[in-house]
Amino acid sequence: MILLGSTGSIGTSTLEIAERFHIRVEALVAGRNIELLKEQILRFQPCFVAVATEELAKELDHPRVFWGKEGILKVIRHASSAIVVNALVGFLGLRPTVEAIREGKTVALANKESLVAAGAFIDPGHLRPIDSEHFGLWYLLGGREPARMTITASGGAFRDWPIEKIAAAKAEEALAHPNWSMGAKITVDSATMTNKLFELLEARWMFGCERVDAVIEPKSIVHALVEFKDGATTAQMANPDMKLPIAYALLQEVRDPILPPVDLLEVGSLEFRPIDAARYPIWTIKEDLLAHPKLGVVVNAANEVAVAKFLRGALSFGDISRLVLRAYERFHDAGPQNLNEVFAIDAEVRSWCEKAR
């Protein structure tokens, strides 16, 4: 396989699965975590490696090292593996998804932004879901047609905070996820609920179902629910660990135990809460965005700029959603008609958000 984002949490879990099931790692793509990448190179002996910059590439003792955005694409073109695990963070992951499909490869997709920004132009038949929620939906569907699909959210760092205090929250508070440790960007997105908004768009594009929704399940044991036309609803439950969806994405069929099963007596009870727009202002555009899903590129671009500003102290937490909602209103007519327009709109929205006050 080709692994994009090898030093992140998804990447390291993917390598655990690869090692356990003797899957050859032909290529490793990382960003700036050179020390961990060096360890991975020694352990997995990839044919190709790519990093963020030429300067970082010079730090690696490897005969075939590429760098930058073009370097990722070169790795995909040069490597012969039939599957690409795309665990890159952000819009950066879109071109590699498109390139892998053009090269006839299957994409095990953890990069939300590929479908959020360009789902209308990506054939889901080339994708295997790695997100626990979309894996859960796939697991439940079994080829049947759903009447309605629901995914769950943890609620993020501020699910139990007094609402009036959330807008002034500091970065370290937003990054204190109640259930697990993830990268900074996705943890902030979980706190604003933007992450779940993105996952609804992903589900819509991946499964072709327009009736999708989300609820908060604080224990993160139930990941997805599917309602069928006969009135039955099924739920997928598993202990929160990405190795299960990764294993299925790589192997398609899994017969070995990957996780310990859920102990219902230990869980005790499950609670489902609505997602309140007063606590998560981004939720005010949920219905409109699902009705105009091509506008995902606008929301994603604005959110990436807003979160980056917040993490460097240039924006308050409350201003993340405010900036995204302003951009959504301003660019509401900007539905792209092709991939080139996706990239053009992304650049235009970013430019506006960088200048916005």
Q: How many CB atoms lie within 10 A of CB 60?
A: 17
> Containing domain of residue 273, as a range?
133-291
| Confidence bin at 333 (pLDDT 50/70/90) | very high
Please state the rounded mean pLDDT for residues 24-48: 97
* Same-domain status, 297 and 269: no
Tokens of 10: 């998804």
pLDDT tens, residue by residue, 141-176:
988 999 999 999 999 999 999 999 999 999 999 998
Which of 97, 114, 130 finishes a domain? 130
* DSSP classification of residue 273: B
* Same-domain status, 284 and 296: no
Statement: residue 72 has pLDDT above 90: yes
Tokens of 32: 């700036």
pLDDT tens, residue by residue, 192-240:
999 999 999 999 999 999 999 999 999 999 999 999 999 999 999 999 9
CATH for 69: 3.40.50.720
Q: What's the confidence (pLDDT) of residue 83? A: 98
Q: What's the confidence (pLDDT) of residue 180? A: 65
* Same-domain status, 152 and 182: yes
* Same-domain status, 137 and 286: yes
**Structurally, how many domains does the chain consist of?**
3
Average pLDDT, the chain: 96
Statement: residue 126 has pLDDT above 70: yes
Which of 291, 308, 335 finishes a domain? 291
pTM of the model: 0.94
- Residue 210, amino acid: E
Q: What's the confidence (pLDDT) of residue 345? A: 98
* Same-domain status, 34 and 113: yes
| Confidence bin at 291 (pLDDT 50/70/90) | very high
* Same-domain status, 192 and 319: no
| CB contact at 8 A, 270 and 222 | yes
| CB contact at 8 A, 132 and 218 | no
Task: Output the furthest CA–CA distance in the chain (Å, rounded).
Answer: 60
